[in-house]
C-alpha cells in the first residue's frame, strides 16, 4: 500500500500542536486541485465537516485496471473499467480496529454487472468538505497495485480490503 501525500497531510493535521483555534491542511482532490480542509475549529465547524455543506460524506473504494506503480503524488485511480458499477467509487463497509493486533481494516465490496476483467489497482477514497467550496469532494488517501491481478466475472463479488498495522518499537 502506498500512503499518498494526501494521507500524510491528513494525519499531520491531526498530530500537529495547535497554535491557533483553527488548523487547516491542503489536500488534492481527484482532479489534482488543491483544496484547503479545516481540521480543528470552533464548536460549530470542525473535523473536516460543516453541517451546512451540500453532498455525501463517506468512505469509498474504487478498483481499476491500471498497472503503473503507485506514487505518493497519485490523486486518482489510473484506469477505470468501462462498465458500471465496477467503474465507479463504491461505499465501503464499516471499518474495524483490532486492538490486540494493532490493525485497522476497512473493506469495499463490488458486484460487477457490466463485464468480466481483472483488478490490478485499488484506491481508498474519502469524501471531505473543503472550506473553500463547502461541498463534499472525494480525496484519494491510498493507492495499491494488485499483483497478481484478481480476475472477476459478472455477478461475482470483488472484495478489496485495506489493512493498516500500527507498530510500536524501541530503537
- Arithmetic mean of pLDDT over the chain: 79
Which helix (H) or strand (E) segment holds residue 10: the answer is helix 5-14
- 53 part of a folded domain: yes
**Are 62 and 91 spatial neighbours (Cβ–Cβ below 8 Å)?**
no
Query: For 118-140, what is the mean pLDDT?
Result: 83
pLDDT of res. 47: 47
- 89 part of a folded domain: yes
Per-residue model confidence as pLDDT tens digits over 42-79 = 444 444 444 444 445 678 889 999 999 999 999 999 99
DSSP 8-state symbol, 46: B
CA nearest neighbour of 26 among 18, 35, 17, 38: 35
- E strands, 65-136, where? 90-91, 96-98, 103-110, 117-128
pLDDT of res. 123: 92
- 170 part of a folded domain: no
- 102 has a pLDDT exceeding 80: no
- 38 part of a folded domain: yes
- 171 part of a folded domain: no
pLDDT of res. 65: 95
Per-residue model confidence as pLDDT tens digits over 160-169 = 888 777 666 6
- 106 has a pLDDT exceeding 50: yes
Q: Which domain holds residue 23?
A: 2-165
Query: For 109-131, what is the mean pLDDT?
Result: 87
pLDDT of res. 138: 87
Beta partners for residue 45, in sequence order? none
Specify the higher pLDDT residue, 9 or 157: 157
pLDDT of res. 57: 65
**Are 138 and 127 spatial neighbours (Cβ–Cβ below 8 Å)?**
yes
Number of structural domains in the chain: 1
- 23 part of a folded domain: yes
User: Model's pTM, two decimal places?
Assistant: 0.79
pLDDT of res. 62: 92
Amino acid at each position: 500500500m502506498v500512503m499518498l501525500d494526501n494521507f500524510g497531510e491528513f494525519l499531520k493535521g491531526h498530530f500537529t500542536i495547535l497554535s491557533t483555534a483553527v488548523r487547516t491542511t491542503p489536500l488534492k482532490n481527484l482532479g489534482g486541485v488543491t483544496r484547503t480542509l479545516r481540521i480543528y475549529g470552533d464548536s460549530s465547524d470542525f473535523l473536516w465537516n460543516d453541517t451546512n455543506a451540500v453532498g455525501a460524506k463517506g468512505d469509498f473504494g474504487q478498483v481499476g485496471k491500471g498497472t503503473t506503480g503507485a506514487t505518493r503524488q497519485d490523486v486518482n485511480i489510473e484506469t477505470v473499467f468501462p462498465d458500471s458499477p465496477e467503474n465507479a467509487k463504491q461505499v465501503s463497509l464499516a471499518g474495524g480496529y483490532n486492538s490486540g493486533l494493532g490493525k485497522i481494516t476497512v473493506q469495499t465490496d463490488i458486484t460487477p454487472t457490466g463485464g468480466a476483467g481483472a483488478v490490478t489497482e485499488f484506491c481508498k477514497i474519502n469524501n471531505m468538505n473543503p472550506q473553500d467550496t463547502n461541498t463534499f469532494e472525494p480525496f484519494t488517501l491510498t493507492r495499491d497495485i494488485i499483483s497478481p491481478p484478481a480476475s472477476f466475472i459478472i455477478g461475482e463479488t470483488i472484495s478489496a480490503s485495506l489493512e493498516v498495522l500500527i507498530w510500536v518499537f524501541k530503537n
